[in-house]
Amino acid sequence: MILRLIDPSSLSYYRKIKLLHVYHPEYYVGLKPDTDMFIRHHSGLWEGRFTTNSMGFRASPEVNLERPHLACLGDSLVMGFGVSDHQTFCSLLNGIEINGESYQAFNLGVDAFGSLGYLNRLREVSEQMKLDTVLLFVSANDFNMVPELRAVGELSDDEKDEIRSKDPAYRTKFRLQFEATRLSYLLMALKLSYGHLQVKRIQFQNSIMEELKSSGLIKSDKKDAGLMHYLIHSFYRFPKENQCVINQTRPPALQCPWEIPSGEKCYDMSAPEMNLPELPEITANAYEEMIQLSRKKGFRLIPVMFPVHASAMYCLMNDRQSPEYRFAFQMRNFFEKRGIQVMDLSPYVKKICNVDFDFPHKGTRPPQMWDILIQGDGHLTRAGNEWAAKALIYELKRER
């Protein structure tokens, strides 16, 4: 009762996110039908109105069986965290005309979906309505996880699904905790606190291991590891060199295409760092079933290479590739080997410089990375959704 009265901003945000969702027996979490709420990020990164139709699709019309249907399938990027309903790229596709026909666009995206979530959502929706075209937006965390997040215990969505599939009691336990935290503000707060403490614990363990490796007490591959080096650099403060700035220059003007920031690693596709391993079995099986479902139900499945990650965008601006974007090439190889054409939006990254965006600094400077992506969050801004919609519309019309 006290938590409800105080309504702390961070808990209020997670509370509304919880109320936006419902338990689903097949893919665990879906969006509640006929919802209308306003959500503000607890750190002030974004805010927006969230509505769903009677089928639980965000910012989507009610189904008109007399019109062709275009569906966007993916996770939170597709669902549209970061903007209001009418600003999501899938909503901007609604009414697109292809070969003289006006399409209804439906947003099937749900945050935290992995490959199995995509498959189960698609299987369910294909039984409820006649799909014509389905755009599949694969994300990096479906089957890959960056080393920094894996170091603190984060697993890819497909790895989590594989673990769940081996636990016969998981579905029951998940439903109990989902409904309990939905009803009780206190239980929700405790669950969030427990999760944060688990991350802190793993971070602490990793930092201790790094200290032991640096000191030489544990074997390390680092050349500068050793007790003497550790003691000197940990407890001795080296005198600062005299620095004299003679000609202080102005910071460089903002430009587009963007330069690759220092510390960002970009490679040619032939580099060993861009080696493409095979897809995990659980991912490959889900993709295979989606292909078979599309053939059975008669809709066109179009996987999309969607480079909406800071590293990928910086590298693509300079005709290079980021290792964090390898997942898209892995996905493309899989589908193209099976005769499924993949839509590649990578060339449209450089075109950001020429797109007429509706963003706060329009006309005063060229668009920058954080005009497209929400800094500290990674989802698309309003301008980012506009760019994605324009690229998709061009590709959809060009292909037809």
Spell out the domain ranges in the chain: 2-185+256-399
Q: Return the higher-pLDDT residue of 162 and 229.
A: 162
pLDDT value at 213 more than 90: no
pLDDT value at 118 more than 80: yes
Question: 88 CB contacts (<8 Å, ≥6 apart)?
Answer: 58, 59, 78, 79, 80, 107, 385
Model confidence band, residue 240 (pLDDT cutoffs 50, 70, 90): low
pLDDT value at 382 more than 80: yes
What is the number of other CB atoms lying within 10 angstroms of the CB of residue 127? 8
Q: Which residues pair with 102 in a beta bridge?
A: 97
What is the number of other CB atoms lying within 10 angstroms of the CB of residue 320? 18
User: What mean pLDDT is predicted for residues 353-377?
Assistant: 88
Taking CB atoms within 8 Å and a gap of at least 24, the contacts of 357-362 are: 357/383, 357/386, 357/387, 358/382, 358/383, 358/386, 359/383
Distance CA 243, CA 249 (A): 15
pLDDT value at 76 more than 60: yes
User: What mean pLDDT is predicted for residues 44-51?
Assistant: 94
Question: 191 CB contacts (<8 Å, ≥6 apart)?
Answer: 177, 181
User: What mean pLDDT is predicted for residues 295-310?
Assistant: 96
Distance CA 224, CA 226 (A): 6
CATH class, range 2-185+256-399: alpha beta
What are the pLDDT digits (tens) for 218-239? Answer: 777 766 667 777 777 667 666 6
Q: Return the higher-pLDDT residue of 243 and 176.
A: 176
Residue count (the chain):
400
pLDDT value at 400 more than 60: no
Say if residues 59 and 85 touch (Cβ distance below 8 Å).
yes
Model confidence band, residue 250 (pLDDT cutoffs 50, 70, 90): low
Q: Which residues pair with 72 in a beta bridge?
A: 107, 135
Distance CA 371, CA 89 (A): 15
